[in-house]
Amino acid sequence: MATNLMTAHESIFIGGDWVAPATRDRIEVVSPWSEDVIATVPSGSREDVDRAVAAAQQALTAGRWPSMSLDERMAILKRFRGLLLERSEELAQLITAQMGCPITQSRTIQVVNPVGILEAYLETAETYPFRTLRRSANGQALVTREPVGVVAAVVPWNVPASLTAQKIVPALLAGCTVVLKPAPETPLDAYFVAQLLSEAGLPPGVVNVVPAEREVSEYLVTHPRVNKVTFTGSSVAGRRIAELCGHDLRRVTLELGGKSAAVILDDADLDAAVSALRLGSFRNSGQVCSLKTRLLVPSKLQDEFLERLNALIDTMPIGDPQDENTHIGPLVSARQRDRVEGYIATGIAEGARLVRGGGRPIGLEKGWFVEPTVFTGVDSDATIAQEEIFGPVVAVIPYQNENEAIAIANNSIYGLNGSVFTTDIERGLRAASRMHTGTVELNGNPAGFCAPMGGVKQSGLGREFGPEGIDAFVELKSIGIPKEIADSLQ
């Protein structure tokens, strides 16, 4: 990976143009592998947010965008999809450079997923009920779903391109306009996306990009001309955004933290279950909110399970994220590594047994690495079993029977994701129905981009993907109409 300055962006994307920012403040993008500055971008100001929101508001009410049909909006997104596919390697390299995701995962997940999200939403939009007729004995109504307005989309650093697509695609299909605020750690892919959207023919002002630090981000989500906020990130930040938006009754969707449990039942295929945890627990070096970091195993199978888990980790090299053999790359920042190391120290102090890992890998003097780490003998109330670590750290928790396993799985302030492993599918479905979480993966099978995704409890508000994902960007309107008009619409 190159350690010299990759690029210095001097502009931000507002109103369809690359314009000078209002201040000279800069955000440095630092390689998690080399620890060198590899790029800089402007650090947006309140004035920049005002300009971006004004451009989005103008595009919402004037120009080509509000008069475009759904088919025309879909055509732009189809061209965008084609450009993403053509330049997928460039995007994969950008993501790996910014945040250290192993390059093979950047190619097969970080870039593939945005395309899959696009395709799923395009298919959903074809049958989405933007206009429906309802009739009853006391009236007829045309029920329309209209764009909610200007959307502030706040994206984190861990899977930035996927989460950008996750937010802007349904917003655009609904007819909204967007101000995209990428994470300071990973702004480069947002510039890349803005350029491709422009090449795809998106009208000026429909999507605007303003990188910014926390204070300016708060200004964006409280801006009086922003109608909707969609945010993915920590539960702490999500609560703050919910508080700010609640003051003005601003619409908000929050996808927040997780502490997901993999419930491995006593009839599970252990080899298949452990194999699924390669990506299910350690994808992106443990920096994904839906990862299964609490591994619930029957007490009688714990030793056998640990043996297989150790063998799995032995096949997951740690090192240079540009090396195609690397499975575990560096964490995104020194601060994130400090956080993970703090949790490992807490786990040891609270009496959990460290089975493997727990330190920095030998021979890697640079880069923000933490070894894949496995704890066992973990009490379900322990800190490392309750708090989101966001690194390659898992807690193996033994249980005596299925009821206890479900109770442990539900013993969390979070409820984003989970897994059940069993050879009895009906049993697995029954167990999944008892887990208090937004998504459950049976034997490691993902729900895909056609199904609603989101959390319960402190894992968030609202849903993304499927028709429910478009629901988040529309407002319902009922128009009372005469019977003869209703008859003509049938």
The predicted-structure confidence for 309-352, as pLDDT tens digits, reads as follows: 999 999 999 999 999 999 999 999 999 999 999 999 999 999 99
**Token pair of 381, please?**
């109330």
| Of 183, 179, 191, 205, residue with least CA distance to 8 | 191
- Is 289 assigned a catalytic role? yes
- Could you give phi then psi for residue 175, rounded to 5 degrees? 95, 10
The domains located in the chain, with CATH, are: 7-256+455-477 (3.40.605.10), 260-442 (3.40.309.10)
**What pLDDT is recorded for position 489?**
86
Looking at residue 5, what is its pLDDT?
45
User: According to the model, what pLDDT value does residue 42 have?
Assistant: 98
What is the C-alpha separation between 30 and 25, in angstroms, rounded?
16
Residue 384 has pLDDT above 50, yes or no: yes
| Residue 318 near residue 332, CB atoms below 8 Å | no
- Provide the pLDDT for residue 317: 98
pLDDT at residue number 378 = 96
Let me know if 426 is a catalytic residue.
Answer: no
pLDDT digits (tens, 9 = 90+) for 41-98: 999 999 999 999 999 999 999 999 999 999 999 999 999 999 999 999 999 999 999 9
Through-space distance between the first and last CA atoms of the chain, rounded to whole angstroms: 61
pLDDT at 3: 35
Q: What is the DSSP secondary structure assignment for residue 329, as one 8-state letter?
A: -
How far apart (Å, rounded) are the C-alpha atoms in residues 327 and 347? 24
Stated as kind and residue range, the H or E segment containing 441 is: strand 441-442
| Mean pLDDT score across all residues of the chain | 96
- Mean pLDDT for 405-421 is 98
**pLDDT over threshold 90, residue 270:** yes
Taking only the tens place, the pLDDT of each residue in 106-149 is 999 999 999 999 999 999 999 999 999 999 999 999 999 999 99
Helix/strand/coil (H/E/C) assignment for every residue in 401-469: CHHHHHHHHHCCCCCCCEEEECCCHHHHHHHHHHCCCCCCEECCCCCCCCCCECCCHHHEECCECHHHH
pLDDT the model gives residue 6: 63
Start-end of H helices in 100-136: 103-105, 112-127
Judged against a pLDDT cut of 90, whether residue 1 lies above it is answered with no
Q: Which of 101, 176, 245, 289 is catalytic?
A: 289
Catalytic residue chosen out of the listed positions 185, 255, 388, 464: 255
pLDDT at 4 over 70: no
Residue 264 has pLDDT above 70, yes or no: yes
* Closest to 408 (Cα-Cα) out of 382, 431, 380: 380
pLDDT in tens, 447-464: 999 999 999 999 999 999
* Pairing state between β 373-376 and 393-399: parallel
485 token code pair: 């008009």
Q: What percentage of residues in the chain have a pLDDT greater than 90?
A: 97
